[in-house]
Amino acid sequence: MFSTSPADPESVPTPRASIAAAPPETSMGALLRSRELWASRRFHRLARILILIATATMIAVNVAFVISDGALPPVDIVAFLLYASIGLFAWRPHIASFVVLAFTAIGLVAYGSAGMLLTTALAYGLVAASCAVWVMSAYAAAIAALTVYAAVADTNLTDAGPIGMAGAAVIAFLVGFAFRVATTRERALERERIHAVEGLMRMAHDEQERIADELHDGIAHDLTLIRFHSQALPLHTEDADREISLTTIQGSSERALTSIRSLLEVIRGADGPFTDLEPRYGERIERVIPSLTTLLGNTGIRARSSASEPEDPLAEPVNRALTQVAIEAATNIIKHAPRSVSAQIELTRRDSEVERAILNVDQGAAPRRPSGGRGIARSRTRIEQLGGRLHAGSTVNGWVVTAILPLDTRHADAAPAALGAS
């Protein structure tokens, strides 16, 4: 009923901000330690309406008494103002707290009316539900002071009046504070729910990206080879060429089927990663390069490569990233420039970095814009997450892809999750 919202919208994290933070604690101990619980807040729209209805009811009752008595003494005017100030809690709880205390003090000191103390004590529930902790403390001290004054001064407070006022104030405070705790916990639970939903969405997105990467890096590569060699097969006149195409189609189709089965296991909810497929062209980049050169040669493209066998092998993330870039570039040559005159794959290792360059020459081809497809974009992401850089763009008569990566394994370990299975 008295659901409230923070007085300062920036004082409590928004759902978007809370997603990035750790999930909020909802235990009573954590709530009591949270700043949000003790901060000032404004009442919900429905609570405001209820406060206004209660204020109107009190004023209407007082009007009925005035009509019944047939007179309007000054103390009743102060009472009207006191009841009206209760309605101010709907918009300005802090101001309303001090206005209520002021009119109560006027009625008590000027007219000796201790009856207003009961209204002020009950209003402590609204103070506890909406005001900052320092206002709650000041309000409680003010009620205690006014009650002591009413007990010792010439007022109409009975002997048991102070006990009744204390009891009413304590009950009102507990009710208001209970609503404060409930609304704070409700918002904490809502943030936890948003955090959990965001986590599930992130997991679903990661799984989608994982499947998309496997589709692109694995199945799409195999299907590209199947498509190319199936189109070239009727054109072959030599048995050796036909045998190469048939062998490539058979091997690529088997690998594509294995990848599809692995994907189906993931989609159906099987635990664990994708099926651990054997590397397509070897485990080390120095051995992948000759395999890709042979692959391009089997498609009729005159391919050359240069790569030296290093004394120290490359870090696994660096090796995996360079391998994926090389396979992606070779696949794009077969897919987009199957009539290229030549292609060249180079691997250069320096003191602190390694460079991989793949260049194809397609005579008569007009310069093209850099690819905006998934393959190049994902390759660039992988390279940059390892502290490297990737360039892909057109030349005068072809296309070049260059990837440069640091040899420092600390960079390689920084983002291992960025590298999926090839």
Q: pLDDT tens-digit profile of 395-422?
A: 888 889 999 988 875 544 444 444 443 3
pLDDT at 144: 92
- Is residue 326 within 8 Å of residue 280, measured between CB atoms? no
Q: What is the CA radius of gyration of the chain?
A: 39
| Residue with the two structure tokens 């750790």 | 22
275 pLDDT above the threshold of 60: no
Once rounded to an integer, what is the mean pLDDT over residues 161-177?
Answer: 90
pLDDT at 98: 93
Q: What tokens appear for 295 in the block?
A: 């692959």
pLDDT at 412: 47
Once rounded to an integer, what is the mean pLDDT over residues 153-176?
Answer: 86
- Residue 409's contacts (CB-CB under 8 Å, 6 or more residues apart) are 315, 318
SS3 of 35-49: HHHHCCEEECHHHHH
d(CA 297, CA 290) in angstroms, rounded, equals 10
d(CA 233, CA 254) in angstroms, rounded, equals 18
Q: Give tens-digit pLDDT for 327-337.
A: 888 888 888 88
Q: Exposed e or buried b for every residue in 90-125, given b needs 16+ CB within 10 A?
A: beebbebbebbbebbbbbbeebebbbbbebbbbbbb
1 pLDDT above the threshold of 70: no
pLDDT at 171: 93
Residues forming a β-bridge with 390: 403
282 pLDDT above the threshold of 70: no
- Find the helix or strand (DSSP H, E) in which 360 lies: strand 353-361
Q: What is residue 306's three-state secondary structure?
A: strand
Q: Give tens-digit pLDDT for 16-47.
A: 433 444 444 567 777 777 788 888 888 888 98
Q: Give tens-digit pLDDT for 181-193.
A: 888 888 888 888 8
156 pLDDT above the threshold of 80: no
Written as one letter, the residue type at 175 is: V
| Residue with the two structure tokens 């199936």 | 230
**Where are the chain's structural domains?**
4-198, 285-422
d(CA 60, CA 74) in angstroms, rounded, equals 17
Once rounded to an integer, what is the mean pLDDT over residues 49-71?
Answer: 88
Bigger pLDDT: 309 or 403? 403
Write down the H helix ranges in 70-92.
Answer: 74-87
368 pLDDT above the threshold of 60: no
pLDDT at 331: 86
d(CA 306, CA 152) in angstroms, rounded, equals 103
What percentage of residues in the chain have a pLDDT greater than 70? 82
Rounded to two decimals, what is the model's pTM? 0.53
Q: What is the mean pLDDT of the chain?
A: 79
pLDDT at 296: 87
DSSP 195-221: HHHHHHHHHHHHHHHHHHHHIIIIIIH
pLDDT at 310: 62
d(CA 119, CA 114) in angstroms, rounded, equals 10
Bigger pLDDT: 271 or 179? 179
- Is residue 344 within 8 Å of residue 405, measured between CB atoms? no
139 pLDDT above the threshold of 80: yes
The burial of 32, by beta-carbon neighbours within 10 Å (0-12 exposed, 13-18 middle, 19 or more buried), is given as exposed
d(CA 402, CA 217) in angstroms, rounded, equals 18
Q: What tokens appear for 367 in the block?
A: 């310069």
267 pLDDT above the threshold of 90: no
Q: For residue 102, name the pLDDT band (cuts at 50, 70, 90).
A: very high
Q: What tokens appear for 27 in the block?
A: 């235990």
94 pLDDT above the threshold of 80: yes
372 pLDDT above the threshold of 60: no
Cβ neighbours around 220 below 10 Å, total: 18
What kind of architecture, by CATH, is found in domain 285-422? 2-Layer Sandwich (3.30)
- Nearest to residue 371, comparing CAs of 394, 388, 389, 355? 394
pLDDT at 8: 43
DSSP label at 242? H
251 pLDDT above the threshold of 70: yes
Q: What tokens appear for 167 in the block?
A: 């009891």
Q: Give tens-digit pLDDT for 109-130.
A: 888 888 888 889 999 999 999 9
